[in-house]
Amino acid sequence: MYNLTLNSSQVCDTSASYCKPGVVLPVWNPQENVSIGDTIARACVYVLALAYMFLGVSIIADRFMAAIEVITSQEREIKVTDSEGNKQTVMVRYWNETVSNLTLMALGSSAPEILLSIIEIFGNKFEAGDLGPNTIVGSAAFNLFVIIGYCISVVPNGEIRRIKHLRVFFVTATWSIFAYIWLYIIIAVISPNYVDVWEATLTFLFFPITVLTAYIVDKKIFIGSFLQRRIKSTKVVRDEEAQNAEPLKAVENMEAIDAANPEIKNFEEHRKEYINILKEMRQKHPDIGVDELQKLAEVEILKRGPKSRAYYRIQATRKLIGGTSNVRKKLEVKDRLANSKSKSNLESLIDNEANTVTSVFFEPAHYTCFESVGSIELYVTRQGGDLNNTILVDYKTENGSAEANSDYEYTEGTLIFYPNETRKHFVVKIIDDDVYEEDEHFYVRLSNARYQQNELVDTDTLLVTNPDLATVMILDDDHGGVFMFTEAKMEIIENVGVLRVKVIRTSGARGKVKVPYKTIDGSAAGGRDFEKKNDVLTFYNNEVEKYIEIDIVDDEDYQKNENFFIKLSDPIPEMEEASHNEAGRPRLGDQNKIEIQIKESKVIKGIVDKLLIKSNAAVLVGTSSWREQFIEAFQVNADDDDDDDDNDDANGNEEDNDGEKSDENQADKEESEPKRPSLSDYLIHFVSLFWKVLFAFVPPTEIWGGWACFVVSIIIIGILTAVIGDLASHFGCTVGLKDSVTAISFVALGTSLPDTFASKVAAIQDRYADSSVGNVTGSNAVNVFLGIGLAWMCASIYHYFNGTRFVVIPGSLAFSVTMFCSFAFIAISIMMFRRSKFIGGELGGPASWRYFSSFVFICLWLAYVILSSLDSYCVFDFFKF
């Protein structure tokens, strides 16, 4: 315990302290007269134990981040009204992206550092220690310098990554630097050597204030219109969209939508992006069916779509320990389990019905003939049931506009289907005359289906089903004909391909007649939305119908409502037919113009709507049962993640030739056998098997919406972090390192290594730099305000009620904070310079600038670690408190 009679001139201690019992682990005795060999052996044991504990923390953090992903991915339905006044339902998340990144996501990625600081305070009986605060500062330095420096160089050649939410980044970057300046102020300026209750409480309150200010800037509350005008004037928004986003169609009234509800704007942008992906998949695979197209699009969307920091952290950990992260495999298993039962039930229902019921019906049910044809044959079909039976069915004609024995002969009778006969026909005679008359029709009805044996009627096994009534149209052939469309308006979907519009010839069909027609633009334009035509239909003698064929351009729009028209002109008979009297000349009917309305494809719309529901990345990281978790724990998986194979696709910067090669490689991969685990995969699996099996007992993320997994995981992380703190402290005192040096080097490295791999995956796969870079500044600020602020607030309150003051010796912490703030300013300035047109983005860019920037960032970290370590051993005498 520190002496309360402290002054500003503290004596610098260059020696490491003796090992003390930790929060969980006892001291490894004896401590005196230990040989060099024993010291090396103990150090090796501590290093191996630390590495294994860091591995365990990474695996349970995987579960913790999966719970956070499920929690923050929860969605709700809201009703909105579009520009045309139509109401539609959209899905928006409960959690704002900025809030989730600065709260749960930051807690998930920095949980070991934060918990280490809190546990150290409680373990030291509310006295300050060096390990927790220095780990937080050292981790911040590693995150800002090493992770960002590494991400700058791993971006594929010729590509850049820019921060999308630049305003939020500026806010979090400001708070991150202020956090460490404030830390220096309270321990070295305001009340040197002490931290009072108000200082610690204010430090903790800066955490919700940071979240609130970032949320205000993100939502543009109060200052939204001003910021929007200013940022647009500096082309920030325009630059980030032009450099990174794939070409999408402009959203109508986007500014109005953005001002009303940014979540709806985000939903609409995702929907348009999914439509573009569908179009791209159709171009790459023009011959596949709709179901396969949906599966390919679902995989591609989950690979390309916006992903959280949690997703990339989980991906990195699973690659490290041999877990599966293959998007296609996860979806195939999910679909197989979901569809197996429903498919078998449907098939059995169809089979049972087909095997028990016999149906009798007309096929076809509509017939057309000229009155001079003499007779017409009508066909009846038997389907299903036992075909070995002989069945009977009656038929008879019924008058329509045509009358029996005047236009046709009345007919009735019985059809006999002998065993294995499935199709029969009968004949009705048509009566011809020389009198001109309108087209007429009559009906033929089936009835009284029965078995031949004993004339048995059994409606459970033998039925006359629809269509049981056939219609026969008799066309008069004594007139040139009346030409018209069958309807005034026709609605089609844009992916129909070729539009076929029927033109009918009624009231006669004598002679050869030409009917001119042309298309007329409406809201749809000829040459853009459909094939423009000005042509002629030719009807030959006794032809009663023809089709106008027009190609329709498929834009694969999600919503479409355009129209055009087709107009018939006066029919032109052949010369010999023109000599007939006027009563027999061909003419146009009343319906000589038709409106064609082009609507969006219901198939495409349905696929997009399904993808909007299924595109939540939480389905890839969450678990639904303990059984699934134990199966994954014992499985050995090869590192065959297909995300890396399509990075160019994901970023929209792929060349055509490369795209063809990627498609061929992907096809080969799907046709070949699954990749088998390598020796290293088995080795990593067996090393981590204990942790995998142990953490399989954690509740699945589906329970309580992920909260059960969240609570249990953070408790386990806290226990492991306490062990790590003891191991790190004992390792340092064994080899002669101070806790401050151990914290900024070994502990900070171990806790931040998974974030390094996660940021690498995000930098390669994501279109923006937010997931790999933008969250670093937010996490650094949260670490101080939550990790140090909460721990020191508890300690200062404890001392206040005990009549003492909470002592915090600035020592090397003040120097470490000063170095970090100075170097952080340099690092952020370099990032802003890289964002200019000279390079184009925070990450990537020309090779020379990439590697130079990475080198500078790594040098900043090395300088920070070396200078802070030297100060811990009193090398810089001028910097004392």
Q: Can you read off the two tokens belonging to residue 36?
A: 């060099």
Is the pLDDT at 8 greater than 80, yes or no? no
Per DSSP, 744 falls in state I
What pTM was estimated for this model as a whole? Answer: 0.60
Q: Which residue in this structure is represented by tokens 């315990």?
A: 1
Indicate whether 333 pLDDT > 90: no
Q: Maximum distance among all alpha carbons in the chain?
A: 131
Give the model's pLDDT for residue 559.
54
Quickly count helices (H) and strands (E) in the chain. 28, 25
User: For residue 442, what are its two tokens?
Assistant: 């009559």
Say which amino acid occupies 574: E
The answer to whether residue 81 scores a pLDDT higher than 50 is yes
What string of DSSP letters covers 397-433? EEESSS-BTTTB---EEEEEE-TT--EEEEEEEB---
If one counts every other C-beta atom within 10 angstroms of the C-beta of residue 220, the result is 17
Q: CA geometry: angle at 630 spanning 628 and 633, to 5°?
A: 110
Least confident range from 30-34, 63-67, 249-253, 617-621: namely 249-253
Using CA atoms, how far residue 527 sits from 549, 686, 845, in Å, is 15, 64, 41
Q: Which residue has the higher pLDDT, 43 or 91?
A: 43
Centroid of chain to Cα 739: 44
Q: Are 511 and 573 in contact (CB under 8 A)?
A: yes
Q: Tell me, what's the pLDDT at 244?
A: 39
Identify the burial level of 288 via C-beta atoms within 10 angstroms of its C-beta, where 0-12 means exposed, 13-18 middle and 19 or more buried.
middle
| Structural contact between residues 494 and 599, judged by C-beta atoms closer than 8 angstroms | yes
Q: What is the mean pLDDT of residues 301-312?
A: 62
Share of the chain above pLDDT 90, in %: 8
Tokens of 508: 């006669």
pLDDT at 731: 85
Q: Which residue has the higher pLDDT, 21 or 471?
A: 471
Kindly indicate the confidence band of residue 396, based on its pLDDT and cuts at 50, 70 and 90.
very high
Whole-angstrom distance, CA of residue 721 vs CA of residue 137: 17
Report the C-alpha gap between 635 and 637 in whole angstroms.
6
Q: What would the DSSP string read from start to end of 17-31?
A: PPP---SSS---S--
| Residue 412 dihedral angles phi and psi, to the nearest 5° | -150, 160
Please say whether the beta carbons of 422 and 381 come within 8 A. Answer: yes
User: Residue 67's closest CA among 14, 105, 112, 119?
Assistant: 105
Q: Residue 513, class by beta-carbon neighbours within 10 Å (0-12 exposed, 13-18 middle, 19+ buried)?
A: buried
Query: Band of the pLDDT at 90, cuts 50, 70, 90?
Result: low
Confirm if 116 and 795 have CB atoms less than 8 A apart: no
Residue 709 has pLDDT above 80, yes or no: yes
- pLDDT greater than 70 at residue 683: yes
CB 485 within 8 A of CB 501: yes
DSSP 534: E
Instruction: Supply the pLDDT for residue 299.
Output: 65
Tokens of 8: 């500003």
Mean pLDDT of 32-47: 85
Q: Which two tokens stand for residue 725?
A: 């703190």
Q: What mean pLDDT do residues 52-75 have? A: 82
By mean pLDDT, which of 268-277, 442-451, 479-488, 786-795 is the weakest? Answer: 268-277
What 3-state class would DSSP assign to 466? coil
- What angle do the packed helices 36-72 and 309-321 form, to 10 degrees? 130
> For 831-856, what is the mean pLDDT?
86
> Within a 13 Å sphere around the CA of 811, how many CA atoms are in the beta-carbon half?
22
Confidence of residue 142 (pLDDT cuts 50, 70, 90): confident
**3-class DSSP state of 390:** coil
More confident residue, 417 or 757: 417
Which range among 283-297, 441-455, 654-668 shows the weakest confidence by mean pLDDT?
654-668
Q: Give the model's confidence band at 240: pLDDT under 50 very low, under 70 low, under 90 confident, else very high.
A: very low
Angle at 846 between CA 156 and CA 863, to 5 degrees: 90
Tokens 């052996």 map to which residue?
41
Average pLDDT, the chain: 75
Nearest to 428 by CA among 446, 442, 408: 408
Q: What contacts 718, CB < 8 A, 6 or more positions away?
A: 115, 119
- pLDDT (average), residues 621-641: 73
**Distance (Å, rounded) from C-alpha 273 to C-alpha 235?**
23
| pLDDT at residue 84, rounded to an integer | 56
Under 8 Å between Cβ of 762 and 776: no
Distances (CA, A) of 130 to 133, 196, 252, 824: 6, 18, 57, 22
Query: Residue 239: what pLDDT?
Result: 39
Amino acid at 221: I
Is the pLDDT at 579 greater than 50? The verdict is: no
Q: How confident is the model at residue 615 (pLDDT cuts 50, 70, 90)?
A: low
SS (H, E, C) 123-160: HCCCCCCCHHHHHHHHHHHHHHHHHHHHHHHHCCCCCE
C-alpha to C-alpha distance for 384 and 49, rounded to whole angstroms = 72
Strand (E) positions, 124-220? 160-161, 194-195
Provide the H-helix boundaries in 73-130.
97-100, 106-123
For residue 510, the number of C-alpha atoms closer than 13 Å in the C-beta half-sphere is 21
Mean pLDDT over residues 605-616, rounded?
55
Q: What is the dihedral of CA 262, 268, 274, 278, to 10 degrees?
A: -170
Contacts of 579 (CB under 8 A, 6+ apart): none
The average pLDDT across 825-836 equals: 87
Q: Are 378 and 444 in contact (CB under 8 A)?
A: yes
Residues of the chain with pLDDT > 70: what percent?
69
Query: Quick one: which of 730, 616, 828 has its CA closest to 178?
Result: 828
Tokens matching residue 629: 């978790």
Can you tell me the mean pLDDT for 627-649?
A: 63
Confidence band of 566 (pLDDT split at 50, 70, 90): very high
Least confident window among 336-345, 403-412, 630-639 = 336-345
pLDDT score of 14 more than 70: no
Q: Return the exposure string of 835-852: e unless at least 16 CB atoms fall within 10 Å of the residue's CB, then b.
A: beeebbbbbbbeeebbee
**pLDDT above 90 (res 219):** no
Residue 333 token pair: 């298993």
Highest mean pLDDT among 139-148, 282-291, 427-436: 139-148
pLDDT band at 598 (very low <50, low <70, confident <90, very high): confident
Do 724 and 111 contact (CB within 8 A), yes or no?
no
Q: How far is CA 12 from CA 15, 18, 818, 835, 877, in A?
A: 9, 17, 18, 43, 8
What pLDDT is recorded for position 168? 79
Question: What is residue 556's predicted lDDT score, i.e. its pLDDT?
Answer: 56
Q: Where are the alpha helices (DSSP H) in 327-414?
A: 327-356
Strands 513-521 and 843-844: unpaired
pLDDT of 485 reads: 92
End-to-end CA distance of the chain: give it in Å, rounded. 18
**Contact criterion met (CB below 8 Å) for 813 and 185:** no
Tell whether omega for the bond before 467 is within 30 degrees of 0, i.e. cis. Answer: yes
Instruction: Please write the tens of the pLDDT for every residue from 358-388.
Output: 889 998 888 888 777 788 899 999 988 888 8
* Dihedral, 314, 320, 322, 325 alpha carbons, nearest 10: 30
